[in-house]
Amino acid sequence: MADVPNDAPEHCPGTSSDQAGKSSACQGSPDPAIEEIRQKLTSVKHKILVLSGKGGVGKSTFSAHLSHALARDDSKEVALLDVDICGPSIPKIMGLEGERVHQSGSGWSPVYVEDNLAVMSIGFLLSSPDDAVIWRGPKKNGMIKQFLRDVDWGEVDYLIVDAPPGTSDEHLSIVQYLRGAGIDGAVVITTEASLQDVRKEIRFCKKVKIPVIGVIENMSGFVCPKCKNTSQIFPPTSGGAQRMCEELNLPLLGRVPLDPRIGRSCDEGRSFLTEVRDSPAAVAYQNIIIISHPNPSKHL
């Protein structure tokens, strides 16, 4: 066959075939890092992805405070991995700006917020928070591989993975490398203004066979910090996340209202679950996250 390259593997269907790129002969050798990561993460019980269809919906804020909430149980070990390579905001939200990663005999040591809450982000590898990460896909994928394979996570009950918005290189890498280790599922964050984009994220999860644990509607109303009343700033015009979840047969885990104090707590690197316990947003988080449940990944 003229369209079969000279160095092609046996049974190659040829570049002009409908099976090009699809047959088993096109798959090549599996990345050995997949098995290395599977073995490395045998000590991690639950792995949860936090995804969004677009940026600015509060995904990293949720990831950070899910980690804080889980770590309130002193008997649980929690790890937060920031794989938003070009826009790492976790170090600031967690109050860890300026921290550095240290190398040990067993690998990279994550940065600890508390004795039972470890964090890893490319932000710890930059000389300044203002440094731009200008990388193509392969280099970003290599960084994610290192985070999963080379970080000494130790015995961990929950690994929360904060992914960048969209359905691109980083998402494919994290799914590829974690598939063997087992992914409990994904929590998808949306707002009223991003429902169309979040549908694409949910479609992505179905295509790569990641269970969707549920959807959280963020910025659902505005809480006045003085009178504590909640006002609808973005009234749902299409039924909101509730209707979308009904159409897609997915659970709506909860709605979190806007509260200016949340942003201030994140800027100061503090958990607003502790700083503003009286906020309806904090109450909404507590209703979403059931810490005492033996497997929060079943229903956060």
Dihedral of the alpha carbons of 57, 61, 63, 66, in degrees to the nearest 10: -120
Is residue 15 very low, low, confident or very high in pLDDT (cuts 50, 70, 90)? low
Please tell me what DSSP assigns to residue 108.
Answer: E
Amino acid making up residue 63: S
Give the mean pLDDT of the chain: 86
pLDDT of residue 64: 95
Is residue 1 very low, low, confident or very high in pLDDT (cuts 50, 70, 90)? very low
pLDDT of residue 21: 52
191-230 residue pLDDT tens = 888 888 899 999 999 999 999 999 999 988 887 777 777 7
Percent of the chain exceeding pLDDT 90 equals 54
Pair 300, 69: CB distance under 8 Å: no
Please determine, for residue 23, whether its predicted confidence score (pLDDT) is greater than 70. Answer: no
Binding residues for [4Fe-4S] cluster: 224, 227
Is residue 152 very low, low, confident or very high in pLDDT (cuts 50, 70, 90)? very high
Please determine, for residue 47, whether its predicted confidence score (pLDDT) is greater than 50. Answer: yes
Binding residues: 53-60, 224, 227
275-295 residue pLDDT tens = 888 788 888 888 887 533 445
pLDDT of residue 294: 40
pLDDT of residue 16: 63
Distance (Å, whole) CA 271 – CA 86:
24
Given the candidates 3.40.50.300, 3.90.79.10, 1.20.1200.10, 3.40.50.800, the CATH classification of the domain at 31-292 is 3.40.50.300
Is residue 60 very low, low, confident or very high in pLDDT (cuts 50, 70, 90)? very high
φ/ψ (deg, to 5) at 50: -115, 115
pTM of the shown model: 0.85
Give the start-end residues of each E strand in the chain: 44-52, 78-82, 102-104, 107-109, 111-114, 117-121, 156-162, 185-190, 212-223, 230-231, 252-258
Average pLDDT over residues 226-238: 73
Lowest-confidence segment of 50-59, 63-72, 193-202, 236-245 by average pLDDT: 236-245
pLDDT of residue 124: 95
- Sequence-distant (6+) residues with CB within 8 A of 150 are 107, 108
Average pLDDT over residues 172-201: 91
> Between β-strands 117-121 and 78-82, what pairing exists: parallel, antiparallel or unpaired?
parallel
How many residues in the chain?
300
Distance (Å, whole) CA 220 – CA 191:
7
Please determine, for residue 69, whether its predicted confidence score (pLDDT) is greater than 80. Answer: yes
Percent of the chain exceeding pLDDT 70 equals 85
Binding residues for ATP: 53-60
Please determine, for residue 297, whether its predicted confidence score (pLDDT) is greater than 90. Answer: no
Q: Which two tokens stand for residue 84?
A: 């938003």
Distance (Å, whole) CA 271 – CA 131:
25
